[in-house]
Amino acid sequence: MESIREVFWNVPEGPWIVYTLAIVAVLIFVYAIVARFWVVWRRGKPEDRFHPFWRRIGAFIKTGIVDGLAHKRMLREPYPGIPHLLIFWGCVFLLLCAGVDFLSHYWFHSWTGGTPGLIHSLISDIGGILIFIGTIVFIVRRYAQKPGAFQERLDRSSDDLITVILILLVVVTGFFVEAFRIATIGPGTQEAAWSLWSPGGWIVGKAFADSSLGTLLTWHRILWYVHILITVGAVLYISLFYSRLNHIITSTANAFFRNREPKGALVPINLEEAEFYGVGEIGNFTWKQLLDLDACTRCGRCQERCPAYLSGQPLSPKKIIQSLKEHLLEESHYPFLTKVPQTSLITAQPEVAAEADPPRALIGEVIPEEAIWSCYTCGACQEICPIYAEHINKIIDMRRNLVLEQAKVPELAEPILSCIETRGHSCKGTTATRTDWEQGLDIKHLSEDSQVDLVFWVGCQASLEDRSVKIAQAFAKILKAAGINFATLGTEESCCGDPARRMGNEYLFQMQAVKNIELLKNYNVKKIVTTCPHCFNTIKNEYPQFDGEFEVIHHSQLITQLIKEGKLKLNSGINKRITYHDPCYLGRHNDIYEPPRRVLKAIPQIDLVEMQRSYWNSFCCGGGGGRFWIEEASGERISNLRLEDVIKTKADIVATACPFCLQMLEDAIKAKGLEESLQDLDIAELVELATHSSS
């Protein structure tokens, strides 16, 4: 005798009921997706997110199948991440099994007979068990656990409860259907042995072992109907309501269309052709930016890592996304229920905007201006977001609108932008020139000799700011000690444009970029090194947008290479406890985490300790996104919060690889009166100490 998988056992009318309901549910589901695309996402401007198509397909398969097994971003937070993965894989198993059930019912009968059928039953039950465990953990975490710091970010909306209850009921009723069938099987029979291949139903079935056959058959039929109706109800709920469950579709699409450009690069504006600059109303976003809003699951991971939010400033990346989403739905008049949980909103607004309500202004009413200016572009939100939302481009697009369309610039930013425009640097008030730091170092300029192997792009900070010039001096000495034939642009160097771009002045940025690219090309420059991660990111990742292709390396990479090649000897030890602060534009935006650490580890006697928040999880110093010049209007200074992380390591020195981070940390050290016990140094200064002492 061969085992047969009994899908419609005791329910002879089952097939037509299931397939009729399935067809209706699928049609409604497809209609809802098309309506969503047509009414909501299509409001956005065009954007090519299909190319490179095959690389996208490959990455999508890798993310969905390979990474899906252990979605790396999800597992950065194991507590919610693991149950989510259990539910994800449980659903995949169940959907595959349902597909096989359908195909084998009409055509491929052998798929559900004998050993394949038993394996099929096992996989299906494993899927159900995974979902069961995952949903229980979610319910306990969300509704039963005492409120803790992490729970601040959770929305306890009715939608969330309905979502987990629906998922849970689908699998629980499925187990009961199986259990009533298995309980009718007599002990010691071959069929009883086969029932072990359905472990979920087998365990539940033990509870009904003593029930009469009539009772079991009746309850089996009842539960079968309940199971089917709940399953179809779940599909309709996904289709007709703007529920969290929608992310099954939207976040999958978002993962496919995710950014494939360098992480640190902002999207350029075509200044000549654009009809308006930046985003001043919801339809000014691109369709992909609108899809981002739709895909957000309100998980709160971004908010929990946002330095602006954590320091008490009026910005939460999650709230930005959710408020934009609510506004999008108001404006789109999506034909189905468009309710978004109120706990997500920045401003208190009616749950669903009435038809007659005048449209709200995107900037000012939906998103407060202070929120737009509070971002440090640190990338912490994007790096943790499991659905690959891109917060920074949206915030910068709104800044662009404020600056270029409405001529609104924060008071403290205005003189910096003017300084870049008129003097070519961002160091307002300085009387120094770009070459003062070179005194006594005999630095060559490209105007004197362009036949060099390397151009040292010094950057405004390291050329002109008192504290940062020491980085340029130390690095120049290192290059000389290693025998590198290099030159600088001297007084011809001009601001790379990063502050202007991050402050929303795309026009000024592009002027700087075009001017610098032309200059570098005139000197036939091939390779550039910089000590500043902002210059590094801009020249490496953003100048190619304007036909400026150069090989760009950061000094941490070059020093590592020189040490490895034996061109730089670090013989003199530094017997200190050191911790390293990852600059956002080096780490998160460019994935350069190890080279600075390798440099530090190469210095004899250094005791390198990590801060709790390091690598991708590093905490911003407060100097990015133009915020170096714009003081925090409210809340705690970010650099003070970062200093707390440093202090916890009991380090004598905090090392970094960015002049902005160095200045921010130095200010925090002074503010706390720790100058005697804590030093901040760039890795170049430490290396120079180690080489200099040995000579």
> How far is 597 from 591, CA to CA, in rounded Å?
13
* DSSP labels, 166-197: HHHHHHHHHHHHHHHHHHTSPTTSHHHHHGGG
Stretch that binds ligand SF4, among 370-378, 526-534, 544-552, 604-612 (CB under 6 A): 370-378
- Of 561, 558, 535, whose CA–CA distance to 548 is shortest? 535
378 contacts: CB under 8 Å, gap ≥ 6: 307, 584, 588, 620, 624, 625
Instruction: Sketch the per residue contact string, 78 through 107, with ligand SF4: x for CB under 6 A, - otherwise.
Output: ------------------------------
Stretch that binds ligand SF4, among 183-191, 236-244, 375-383, 485-493 (CB under 6 A): 375-383
- Under the binding rule (CB under 6 A), the answer on residue 314 touching ligand SF4 is no
Nearer to ligand SF4, 91 or 266 (CB): 266
> How far is 175 from 220, CA to CA, in rounded Å?
11
- Of 321, 333, 412, 330, whose CA–CA distance to 371 is shortest? 321
What minimum distance in Å lies between the beta carbon of 392 and ligand SF4?
A: 5
- Under the binding rule (CB under 6 A), the answer on residue 496 touching ligand SF4 is no
- Under the binding rule (CB under 6 A), the answer on residue 638 touching ligand SF4 is no
Nearer to ligand SF4, 377 or 590 (CB): 377
Whether 346 and 323 have beta carbons less than 8 Å apart is answered as yes
Nearer to ligand SF4, 73 or 576 (CB): 73
- Under the binding rule (CB under 6 A), the answer on residue 377 touching ligand SF4 is yes
Give 376's DSSP letter.
-
* DSSP labels, 247-259: HHHHHHHHHHT--
Structure tokens at 255: 């993962």
- Under the binding rule (CB under 6 A), the answer on residue 318 touching ligand SF4 is yes
Out of 32, 366, 378, 420, name the contact with ligand SF4 by CB under 6 A.
Answer: 378
Supply angle C-alpha 154, 158, 159, rounded to 5: 85
Q: 173-192: which residues touch ligand SF4 (CB under 6 A)? A: none
Q: 232-251: which residues touch ligand SF4 (CB under 6 A)? A: none
Nearer to ligand SF4, 111 or 150 (CB): 150
Out of 104, 135, 284, 297, name the contact with ligand SF4 by CB under 6 A.
Answer: 297
Structure tokens at 461: 């900070």
Structure tokens at 613: 């928040």
What minimum distance in Å lies between the beta carbon of 554 and ligand SF4?
A: 21
Rg (CA), the chain: 30
- Under the binding rule (CB under 6 A), the answer on residue 254 touching ligand SF4 is no
> How far is 662 from 302, CA to CA, in rounded Å?
25
What minimum distance in Å lies between the beta carbon of 414 and ligand SF4?
A: 21
- Under the binding rule (CB under 6 A), the answer on residue 307 touching ligand SF4 is yes
- Under the binding rule (CB under 6 A), the answer on residue 170 touching ligand SF4 is no
3-state secondary structure of 661: helix
- Under the binding rule (CB under 6 A), the answer on residue 387 touching ligand SF4 is yes
If binding means CB under 6 A, how many residues of this protein chain bind ligand SF4? 29
What minimum distance in Å lies between the beta carbon of 247 and ligand SF4?
A: 8
Q: 267-296: which residues touch ligand SF4 (CB under 6 A)? A: 296
> How far is 160 from 174, CA to CA, in rounded Å?
22
- Under the binding rule (CB under 6 A), the answer on residue 306 touching ligand SF4 is yes
Nearer to ligand SF4, 118 or 308 (CB): 308
Count of beta carbons in the 10 Å neighbourhood of residue 108? 13
Count of beta carbons in the 10 Å neighbourhood of residue 353? 18
Give 282's DSSP letter.
G
What minimum distance in Å lies between the beta carbon of 511 and ligand SF4?
A: 25
What minimum distance in Å lies between the beta carbon of 340 and ligand SF4?
A: 12
- Under the binding rule (CB under 6 A), the answer on residue 302 touching ligand SF4 is yes
Structure tokens at 322: 């959710």
Helix extents (H) in 391-464 = 391-400, 414-423, 460-464
Nearer to ligand SF4, 174 or 264 (CB): 264
Q: How far is CA 337 from CA 229, 351, 662, in A?
A: 21, 11, 50
Nearer to ligand SF4, 183 or 320 (CB): 320
Out of 299, 495, 599, 621, name the contact with ligand SF4 by CB under 6 A.
Answer: 299
Binding site for ligand SF4 (CB under 6 A): 296-302, 305-308, 315, 317-318, 321, 375-381, 384-387, 389, 391-392
